[in-house]
A = this chain, B = another copy of it.
Amino acid sequence: MKNLTRRDALKLASVGAAAALQSSTLSAVESPRTPTPVWEVFELVLKRPSAETPFPSAANPFIEAQLTAAFSLGHRTISVDGFYDGDGVYRIRFMPDVPGLWRYKTQSNLPQLDAQEGSFQATPPLPGAHGPVRVCNTHHFAYADNTPFFPFGTTSYAWIHQPEALQRQTLNTLRTAPFNKIRMCVFPKSYEYNHNEPALYPFERGAAGASDFTRPNPAFFRHLEQRIADLLSLGIEADLILFHPYDRWGFATMTPAQDEFYLRYLLSRLSAYRNIWWSLANEYDLMRAKSTADFDRLFHIVEAADPYQHLRSVHYSHTPYDYAQPWVTHASLQSSDFTAAPAHLAAWSKPVCYDEIMYEGNLNRRWGNISGDEMTRRFWLGLIAGCYVTHGETYLDPTQPFDENSTPTLFWAHGGPLKGTSPAQIAFLRKLIEETVSPANAVLGPVRIGLTAAVNPTYLNATAYAEDGKQAQTILYFFDFHQPIWSDFQLPPGVFAAEWIDPLSTTITPQPGMFSGKATLRLPGHPFMAVRFRLQPPV
């Protein structure tokens, strides 16, 4: 709990706890020295001996103990916060990023937790584990091991707050859906079509339902962690939304000290999960109790408390946050104005994620009823512009009564099955994009991560380059509502094969011949088509 002063901590405590500190009777029990693969979670468990006296009822074990551990390998030392997990158990989690013998030593204001030492062996990463996602090549992303990551996100704000069977159905949907990132909230959601109470609350609640913001509910956080781990096992990044305005429980109106306590507790539990992204808020500008300066401060708290520097952004409703700020790793837009993409990319020199482009569905709301083809079209427009796009779905059962006070199962908030037509089309697009960097398709060695959008093109197009950034490997054209029967293409050096790509019917039709220089290609003459040129191996 560094940066949170003792005075702050006392303010947070609902009862005076200073006396209790002296009488606490914890003692440490080391975790087994299991070897832990790189990018998995090593957990150090510190327990008070069961025979000893429990905390005095007036004490708050979430507050009293300040606990960190320093993990060292060679000359590197990483300081990691611990947390109280209830039932007399403290935990410290650590995600090693290189193999080797990591040594640790705890530090605490409680003598029983202080100066605990040990070590563990970090082994090479498990198959399929690539580490946390980072910014790579300015406007793009890659895992820590440099494997490209092209975000194809979806949205399910409150899926972890639904009945268990529905959550399992959501995970089952995600198992075969084309999405590798999900925008989801820590806190439950109170909004139109979102009226049910969650099974678990993030803080202890009194008889009248008021939260004690000094006492996190370990069961809530264990559940959240289980869902993060479930997503990890599916290869899905959790774009975790830390605050949002759609609240009836008081989570949107905590004090600055409560916000900080919550963030530090959350980060001490979750930072060691490699598939975490931090989204400071959904629609931060609709949170009336917080100013932009408050969000600057919350960003700094997250930046300081996260030993792994997971990706950080914030999402808006009307007023974009200043994505040029150095503590923001990428932009998270609510927009479908892809004509602004070149300016955004140039201005921010960061990846740009169009995280809310309206949802495929049939809702009585403008933001929740675009057609599946329009959703897919927006994915193409965004990708071809050199950005990334996030899906969402809001299909009402048309036989249900029209009632915003109901809580139907809309994937956007509740999860469950996907009903729309865009996911299959997005799967097709994802495969096309991932193929641009596939070693199998890179005829001249590795391909640079990410597509570079053309400037002032006749038609929208984006190119994947060889690692030197010079030799174009794959060029994707998207014709949107244009339907030419032929077009000239000024191709970069090399000999290219051409394919017609139908983004809606998800078909690929190879075209006869090879193309180079100023090439003329016959086109199908109907709208919403694409063309792919792929460099051929030198003869």
- List chain A positions with a Cβ less than 8 A from chain B: 361-366, 369-371, 373-374, 396, 398, 402, 458-459, 481-488, 520, 522, 525-527
Known A398-B525, A402-B520, A525-B398; judge A484-B374 contact (CB<8 A).
no
Q: Could you list some 23 contacts between A and B, CB below 8 A? A: A362-B483, A362-B484, A362-B525, A363-B484, A364-B485, A364-B486, A364-B487, A364-B488, A366-B459, A369-B482, A369-B483, A369-B484, A370-B482, A370-B483, A371-B482, A371-B483, A371-B526, A371-B527, A373-B527, A374-B481, A374-B527, A402-B485, A402-B486
Measured in the bound complex, the distance between the Cα atoms of B482 and A370 in whole Å is 4
Measured in the bound complex, the distance between the Cα atoms of B481 and A483 in whole Å is 19
Q: Are A485 and B398 in contact (CB under 8 A)?
A: yes
Measured in the bound complex, the distance between the Cα atoms of B396 and A240 in whole Å is 52
Chain B residues whose C-beta falls within 8 Å of the C-beta of A374 in the assembled complex = 481, 527
Identify 17 new A-B residue pairs, CB closer than 8 A, beyond the known A366-B459, A369-B484, A374-B527: A361-B483, A362-B485, A363-B484, A364-B484, A364-B487, A365-B484, A366-B458, A366-B482, A370-B483, A370-B527, A371-B481, A371-B482, A396-B485, A398-B525, A402-B485, A402-B486, A402-B520
Most B Cβ at <10 Å: residue of A370, A486, A488: A486
Most B Cβ at <10 Å: residue of A362, A365, A370, A488: A362
Measured in the bound complex, the distance between the Cα atoms of B219 and A118 in whole Å is 104
Measured in the bound complex, the distance between the Cα atoms of B487 and A365 in whole Å is 7
Can you name the residue of chain B whose Cβ is closest to the Cβ of A479?
B369
Copy tally for this chain in the complex stands at: 2
Chain B residues whose C-beta falls within 8 Å of the C-beta of A396 in the assembled complex = 485
Chain B residues whose C-beta falls within 8 Å of the C-beta of A483 in the assembled complex = 361-362, 369-371
Measured in the bound complex, the distance between the Cα atoms of B526 and A110 in whole Å is 64
Measured in the bound complex, the distance between the Cα atoms of B374 and A483 in whole Å is 11
Can you name the residue of chain B whose Cβ is closest to the Cβ of A361?
B483
Chain B residues whose C-beta falls within 8 Å of the C-beta of A364 in the assembled complex = 484-488
Chain B residues whose C-beta falls within 8 Å of the C-beta of A365 in the assembled complex = 484
Chain B residues whose C-beta falls within 8 Å of the C-beta of A526 in the assembled complex = 371
CB distance from A375 to the nearest CB of B (A): 9
Measured in the bound complex, the distance between the Cα atoms of B371 and A49 in whole Å is 75
> Which 6 pairs show the lowest CB-CB distances between chains A and B?
A374-B481, A371-B527, A402-B486, A362-B485, A369-B484, A362-B525
Chain B residues whose C-beta falls within 8 Å of the C-beta of A459 in the assembled complex = 366
Chain B residues whose C-beta falls within 8 Å of the C-beta of A398 in the assembled complex = 485, 525
CB distance from A132 to the nearest CB of B (A): 36
Measured in the bound complex, the distance between the Cα atoms of B482 and A29 in whole Å is 59
Most B Cβ at <10 Å: residue of A458, A485, A520: A485
Q: Are A370 and B481 in contact (CB under 8 A)?
A: yes
Can you name the residue of chain B whose Cβ is closest to the Cβ of A366?
B458
CB distance from A105 to the nearest CB of B (A): 59
Chain B residues whose C-beta falls within 8 Å of the C-beta of A363 in the assembled complex = 484-485
Measured in the bound complex, the distance between the Cα atoms of B402 and A488 in whole Å is 10
Measured in the bound complex, the distance between the Cα atoms of B487 and A366 in whole Å is 9
Most B Cβ at <10 Å: residue of A363, A396, A458, A482: A482
Chain B residues whose C-beta falls within 8 Å of the C-beta of A487 in the assembled complex = 364
Chain B residues whose C-beta falls within 8 Å of the C-beta of A371 in the assembled complex = 481-483, 526-527
Chain B residues whose C-beta falls within 8 Å of the C-beta of A486 in the assembled complex = 364, 402
Can you name the residue of chain B whose Cβ is closest to the Cβ of A363?
B484
Most B Cβ at <10 Å: residue of A365, A396, A402, A488: A402
CB distance from A368 to the nearest CB of B (A): 8
CB distance from A391 to the nearest CB of B (A): 15
Chain B residues whose C-beta falls within 8 Å of the C-beta of A488 in the assembled complex = 364
Chain B residues whose C-beta falls within 8 Å of the C-beta of A485 in the assembled complex = 362-364, 396, 398, 402
Chain B residues whose C-beta falls within 8 Å of the C-beta of A525 in the assembled complex = 362, 398
Measured in the bound complex, the distance between the Cα atoms of B371 and A398 in whole Å is 31
Chain B residues whose C-beta falls within 8 Å of the C-beta of A373 in the assembled complex = 527
Measured in the bound complex, the distance between the Cα atoms of B481 and A487 in whole Å is 28
Can you name the residue of chain B whose Cβ is closest to the Cβ of A488?
B364
CB distance from A386 to the nearest CB of B (A): 20
Chain B residues whose C-beta falls within 8 Å of the C-beta of A520 in the assembled complex = 402
Can you name the residue of chain B whose Cβ is closest to the Cβ of A397?
B485
